[in-house]
């Protein structure tokens, strides 16, 4: 899955968690993109079975979409904590950098970071 699609999934999950709603306008505002861009991404996510989108209504994560969004969020939170607590960068920098790199690290690297955070 592309970084862009992962960002959409993560944003939909966050919006639904925060406000129990995720609409095209909300997603566009949160990501700083156009509504047509959101529609194109939602179409692809629907094709992959990760979201359901009611016309002029809410966007829902499917079970697979919820699992994918939770995994992305977990990676983000782990990387943020690692950068802040182990590397020693500011909370703001850790948050921003985690958002950028979470989509590119291998499972092996993530597993080693998680081990390091647990103290293994």
Which pLDDT tens digit goes with each residue over 22-44? 999 999 999 999 999 999 999 99
120 pLDDT above the threshold of 80: no
Asked if 13 contacts 70 with a C-beta cutoff of 8 angstroms, the reply is yes
65 pLDDT above the threshold of 80: yes
pLDDT at 105: 92
68 pLDDT above the threshold of 90: yes
53 DSSP assignment: E
User: Around Cβ 116, how many Cβ atoms within 10 Å?
Assistant: 12
Please state, in angstroms and rounded to a whole number, the distance separating the CA atoms of residues 109 and 61: 27
Q: Which domains does the chain have, with CATH numbers?
A: 3-65 (1.10.10.10), 68-118 (1.10.60.10)
pLDDT at 118: 87
Please state the pTM of the whole predicted model: 0.85
Structure tokens at 42: 């939602």
Q: Give mean pLDDT, residues 85-112.
A: 93
Q: Residue 81 — very low, low, confident or very high, per pLDDT cuts 50/70/90?
A: very high
């Amino acid at each position: 899955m592309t970084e862009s699609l992962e960002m959409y999934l993560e944003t939909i999950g966050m919006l639904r968690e925060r406000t129990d709603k995720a609409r095209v306008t909300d997603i566009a505002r949160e990501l700083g993109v156009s509504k047509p861009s959101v529609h194109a991404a939602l179409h692809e996510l629907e094709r992959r079975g990760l979201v359901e989108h009611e016309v002029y209504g809410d966007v829902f994560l499917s079970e697979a979409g919820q699992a994918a969004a939770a995994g992305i969020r977990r990676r983000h939170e782990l990387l943020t904590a690692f950068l802040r607590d182990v590397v020693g960068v500011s909370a703001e920098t850790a948050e921003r950098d985690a958002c950028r790199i979470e989509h590119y690290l291998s499972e092996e690297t993530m597993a080693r970071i998680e081990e390091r955070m647990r103290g293994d």
